[in-house]
Amino acid sequence: MSRLTTLETPSSVRVTAIIAAGGSGRRVGGSVPKQLLEIGGTTLLQRSVEAFRSHPGVGEVIVAVPPDLLAAPPRWLEGVRNVRLVAGGERRQDSVAQAFAAVAADVEVVLVHDAARPFVTSDVISRAIRGAVAHGAAIAALPVTDTVKRVAREVIVETLPREEIFLAQTPQAFRRDVLGAAIAAGRMTETATDEAMLAERAGHRVHVVAGDSANVKITSAADLERARGQLRTPAAAGRVGVGYDLHRLVEGRPLVLGGVTVPSERGALGHSDADVVCHAVTDAILGAARAGDIGQHYPDTDPRWKGASSIALLKEIVALVRGRGLAVENVDVVVILERPKIGPHRADIQARLAEALGIDEGRVSVKGKTNEGVDAVGRGEAIAAHAVALLTRD
């Protein structure tokens, strides 16, 4: 029996997400599986994976993919942390079962999501996790608004009470033991449309949490075109984010700015390499994407980030927002430091940032300022940086 109680919060629970992407998905048309089709320059699969990878409550993402994709993974997965691929099966429930077998033993809640729902939001994911913690099993779903008829041979048999009818979405979330029982039921049954159905057959009550009307499933060519049109709307054209960082200066530490080690008697003190430029830019990008902040993604309480390269982490965040269909348009940074002067190193810093961001150097600006002797920065005891980032639809 799970140790979870209804009093626990998602942040205290170990969570893994399974992305079901093992099918051929040919109904949409095209020469590749549906999950590898692009909207806004990013595949459905990448968007779905990044939605869960970027969620602060999800520790790992396991993706069930066709065997040929497992043999030749997409390039965007190179160097991505906390994402694993497994071979999918013939049926959806087989793919989920094979991914479930790869879930770590200490994971308490498992999410199952369809790769063909690329617009799932962090709020929906959080609601599903809370639902599983409280009830054992929960799915995101929407109430119907139209009158519902049951029809046989083109004749209405009955009118169903629409207040009892909901349209199921994903993610579907389960305590580990509940999903294990559902998967066992799936081995002894015909094809099921989702894991909630299998959990019901295994004797578990499945609760409903609020879904999202934007969390659509791409099934047909018309669905795909509507999704592409949604990303072309002017309202989603540009997003601006602001970032800020400050670190104390101490002896015996290198001074790293934008991935460039600048000659200095003192460097910034921090858990990672304390690169204030990269930290400010990272927070600006995350802010523009509404994807949390650097502390959520790389907490200084986690030993994995001890001495980490901040420009490498910045590259990960750029990949994350690309998974949401966003691209960095330009970045402007102000570094506040009494000494050494930034000017001689500006070109190198701009070049390294541009490389990490995947944009031309002409779209990156770095400026150096002093604080005129005011406060800790002005006294040379600290370094600070401000950044502004503009993101556009990819």
* pLDDT tens digits, one per residue of 81-107: 889 999 998 888 999 999 999 999 999
Q: Quick one: which of 55, 56, 38 has its CA closest to 47?
A: 38
Q: Give residue 339's pLDDT.
A: 93
Average pLDDT, integer, range 123-150? 95
Give residue-wise pLDDT tens across range 258-281: 999 999 999 999 999 999 999 999
Here the tokens at position 346 are 């500006």
- DSSP letter at 63 equals E
Q: What distance in Å separates the CA atoms of residue 327 and residue 391, rounded to the nearest whole number?
A: 5
pTM metric for this prediction: 0.67
Tell me: the pLDDT tens digits for 156-205?
999 999 999 999 999 999 999 999 999 998 888 777 889 999 999 999 99
**Residues with Cβ < 8 Å from 381, sequence gap 6 or more?**
248, 249
The CA distance from 374 to 251, in Å, is: 21
pLDDT value of residue 6:
42
Domains and CATH numbers, the chain: 10-232 (3.90.550.10), 236-393 (3.30.1330.50)
Q: What DSSP assignment string belongs to 176-205?
A: HHHHHHHHHHHTTSS--S-HHHHHHHTT--
Q: How far is CA 328 from CA 40, 208, 322, 354, in A?
A: 14, 37, 9, 10
Confidence band (pLDDT; 50, 70, 90) for 28? low
From 39-43, 53-57, 154-158, the region with the lowest mean pLDDT = 39-43
Does the pLDDT of residue 78 top 50, yes or no? yes
How wide is the angle at C-alpha 327 spanned by C-alphas 112 and 65, nearest 5°? Answer: 30
Instruction: Please state the rounded mean pLDDT for residues 45-61.
Output: 92
Residue 200's pLDDT is 94
pLDDT in tens, 294-323: 999 999 888 889 999 999 999 999 998 988
Mean pLDDT value across residues 29-53 = 83
Pair 230, 37: CB distance under 8 Å: no
Confidence of residue 65 (pLDDT cuts 50, 70, 90): very high
Among residues 242, 239, 284, which one has the least CA distance to residue 394? 239
